[in-house]
Amino acid sequence: MKKLSAFDLGMIIAFAMVALLGGGAWWYLSGKLADAQAAVSAAASDFEKYSSREVYLPTRANEKSLQANIDLMKGQIDPLVHAKLQSADNKVFSVAKQDPVAWKHDLDERVGRLNGAAKVHGVAVPPNFYYGFSRYLNTNPGDEKTVVLTKQLLGIEQIANILIDASVKGIQTVRRTYDEDDSSGGGGSGGAKGDKDYLGGHSTNADGGTYVTYPY
């Protein structure tokens, strides 16, 4: 029998080790594959079971009951919101469409009161200052525009009163987004170049219609 050389022994040992490592890897990976296949089968079985029974989904039989419960809760909560969470003197919720002439008359009165208060407090304002509404010095808006304009006017009036009561040195300009203009063109339209009252942009509705932001 031929005596094995050191090289032959080395090759036999290396082959044996590769075979052992390969067999171990195959055994480990095949076990992982079997576990994964079992998990997928269990998930598919659960999905079929629950989706067919609609355990967690409302059915047509109880949709009316759910809606009745929602309406009942809203009926109980809404009065509390208006009575406890909203300011008693908040005028935004009572804003309604006005006759354009009546709206312009109201604007003139509010601007007059603000300018009069500014004079009393020593707050300097430009001549014929209209607090962001100079475009209506000599014209009236359409009646369908008076709602959003009134809401903006209420906000600006609050801001102006804070500044005037604080006796700031002066108010140079008040800028607002022209939300009475069509916003389909993107970012609000109608702001002429050099119009100091115009603020680029538009109002934004919060998710769910909770509130509307009017940039100033």
Write down the number of H helices and E strands in the chain.
Answer: 4, 2
Q: Are residues 107 and 44 in the same domain?
A: no
pLDDT of the residue at 179 = 93
Q: Are residues 127 and 181 in the same domain?
A: yes
pLDDT of the residue at 28 = 74
Mean pLDDT of 102-109: 94
Of the chain, the end-to-end C-alpha distance in Å amounts to 102
pLDDT of the residue at 25 = 72
Give the whole-angstrom CA distance, residue 142 versus residue 206: 26
Q: Which of 10, 39, 57 is the last residue of a domain?
A: 57
pLDDT bucket at 19, cuts 50 / 70 / 90: confident
Q: Are residues 72 and 11 in the same domain?
A: no
pLDDT bucket at 9, cuts 50 / 70 / 90: low
Q: Are residues 53 and 157 in the same domain?
A: no
Q: Are residues 101 and 189 in the same domain?
A: yes
pLDDT of the residue at 60 = 75
Q: Are residues 188 and 103 in the same domain?
A: yes
Residue 1 has pLDDT above 80, yes or no: no
46-100 pLDDT, tens per residue?
777 766 665 566 677 788 888 889 999 988 888 877 777 766 666 676 777 889 9
124 DSSP β-pair partners:
170
**DSSP track, 85-152:** IS-TT--GGG-----HHHHHHHHHHHHHHHHHHHHHTT-B--TT--TT-GGGSS----GGGHHHHHHH
Give me the percent of the chain exceeding a pLDDT of 90. Answer: 34
Q: Are residues 20 and 45 in the same domain?
A: yes
Q: Are residues 94 and 81 in the same domain?
A: no
Q: Are residues 82 and 95 in the same domain?
A: no
| Least trusted range by pLDDT, from 60-64, 124-128, 191-195 | 191-195
Question: Regarding predicted confidence, which is higher, 81 or 170?
Answer: 170
143-157 pLDDT, tens per residue?
899 999 999 999 999
Q: What is the pTM of this model?
A: 0.58
Domain count, the chain: 3
In degrees and rounded to multiples of 5, residue 4 shows phi and psi of -75, 135
Q: Are residues 51 and 73 in the same domain?
A: no
- Residue range(s) defining the domain that contains residue 25: 1-57
